[in-house]
Structure 1
Amino acid sequence: METARDDLLLICVNYRKPVETARFVSSAREQTLNSALHVIVVDNSPPDGEGGVPEAVRDDPHVTTIAPGKNLGYFGGAAVALDIHRGSEPAVLAPSIRTLNSGVDQNPYMRVRPDAWRIRLNSRIFSIYPVDAVYQGLSWIKHRSLDGVAKERPATTAGFATKIYAPHGSFIALHRTYFEKGGTLDYGAFLFGEEIFVAETASRLGLTVLYEPGVVIEHTERSTAKGLWNRDISRYRRQASRYLARKFF
């Protein structure tokens, strides 16, 4: 089916979270925009129907739903949506991404480009499952502690837009110039590290990654990523870190 060419394309990748997907699509559709909006939802959920896109979303005439029949990963699913909507592809915008449990802003994800040694060190850490498990456990404790501190702080007003290195991967807005200048979503790993891939692609193309705190996205953190310390997830993390180290550093 050929979709209309709209000024603004929003791609949502669903994986077993029908309620949150429906809420996200509904919130997007309620926004007052100066450009026409079309939403594409890619359903990475299992073909047995568990956690699939709700009927209300599938029946929305302003939403295109795609069911690949398997989990294509974050950028893999988004790439399928782009192939269908080619010609209206949306530089790179990193909005304020607030976690619902603490209100912590997860952007800027990275203000500056990491040193090569850091990327290579991560690759080594993720190569050994027990070491990776300990590392992830310590990281979880660190972030939960920071969440607790953030809850005690008064809410802050939005600051000015600033140039950063990499956006948080839970929501990235890509302007059409990203694609017109040769940017793609052809990421060489299944999961993890998409933020650095976008950052490096934008840098290579001479594009700016802009953190815009005036735009706020609510994020239910890790709602689709249960069991982040199992061996399969560790393997994906290892593959991504090796790919990034080899490709960009």
Structure 2
Amino acid sequence: MSDPSISIIAVSYFGAADARLLVDSLLPQDFDDWQLVIVDNSVDPTERELLQELASDDARIRILFSGKNLGYFGAAHHAFDVVSPLGDVVVMNTDVVFGGPTVLGQLRRESLSRDDLGVLAPAIISERSGRDQNPHLVAMPSVRVAAMRRWATATPLLTQLSLLLSDVRRRKRPLPGTQPGEVSLIYAAHGSFMYLTEKYFASSGDLRHPLFLFGEEIYVAEHARRAGLETWHLPMVTMNHVEHGTMGIRRSRAVLQMSGKATRYALHTAKAAAQERRSDSPQPQNGRTSGSQG
């Protein structure tokens, strides 16, 4: 059996019920050259049994039981090592479902049609807000912006307050119109569903994000940027985020601390990129710019 064109890695943490919805939206896709690998981070016998039932639906579905909670990209990297996919790879949560039967085929066609493509970001419509969660970031945050976000998450209490304020602001914004926006270049795709092209991995891209949770968007975006690859937002291609996951606006202290680590990581990344830009800029010679006259 040849390697599939698209390998979908879905990470589940007590998400077997959502995984069923995901599979139900995947099986009718008009593009059928795929495999689905669900990684179970739950270490729970009931979850294990429910997920094993899914594997009997189709020979293209495989379940991996990690034996412990590996985190989001930790689990995705584990699956990548086990499966060793050769084509495009989707990394996603189990509570995201395909918005129609043509979505996977549309993504594959876009992947093949763009020479310098690293990442595709479809519309991810939140069931809670009705809004597209993409783009995650239109542009790379400056050091100043990253530092402000780091300050806002310096303690678990500040992080929780920031989440609550952000949710209030989001709810006050008017809903977008019914017509999808234009296809556009962006910096970072939302982490709940990232379509990574074969070119991303051919340019030494990987899933070795150092954090247990959060910050995956920055990790992928930075590799794509440094490799000269593009990230495109496709608002006409729709995924639905049912958001039945265990994480809401009010979060545990441990999860809030992980958010703080992610903003530290983002600040470090922004500083490194700024230093890179300074190093690439023309340097003055003997106190003069290279274009000055004697």
Q: Same fold (TM over 0.5)?
A: yes
Unaligned runs of 5+ in 2: 89-117, 272-294
Name which of structure 1's ranges 47-56 and 126-135 shifts more when overlaid on structure 2: 47-56
Q: Which residue of 2 aligns with 1:7?
A: 5
Aligned partner (choices 119, 122, 126) of residue 99 of structure 1? 126
Q: How do residues 1-249 of structure 1 correspond to structure 2 at under 5 angstroms?
A: 5-33=3-31, 36-50=33-47, 53-59=50-56, 60-90=58-88, 91-146=118-173, 149-150=174-175, 154-156=177-179, 158-221=180-243, 223-226=245-248, 228-249=250-271
Give the TM-score taking structure 1 as reference length.
Answer: 0.89
Amino acid at match of 1:43: D
Give the TM-score taking structure 2 as reference length.
Answer: 0.76
Unaligned runs of 5+ in 1: none
1:48-88 deviation line (CA, Å, top 9, x unaligned)? 43487534312231101101022111111111111112142
1:19-53 deviation line (CA, Å, top 9, x unaligned)? 211111221221101x6111111111133434875
- The 4+ residue runs of structure 1 with deviation greater than 4 A are 50-53
Distance in structure 2 (CA, Å) of the matches to 1:96 and 1:5: 27
Match of 1:30, SS state, is coil
Residue 154 of structure 1 and its aligned partner are, at CA, apart by: 4.8
Q: CA 1:38–1:233 in structure 2 vs 1: closer, same or farther (change >3 Å)?
A: same
Q: CA 1:248–1:114 in structure 2 vs 1: closer, same or farther (change >3 Å)?
A: closer
Q: What percentage of aligned pairs have identical amino acids?
A: 31
Name which of structure 1's ranges 12-21 and 120-129 shifts more when overlaid on structure 2: 120-129
- Which protein has the larger Cα radius of gyration, Structure 1 or Structure 2? 2
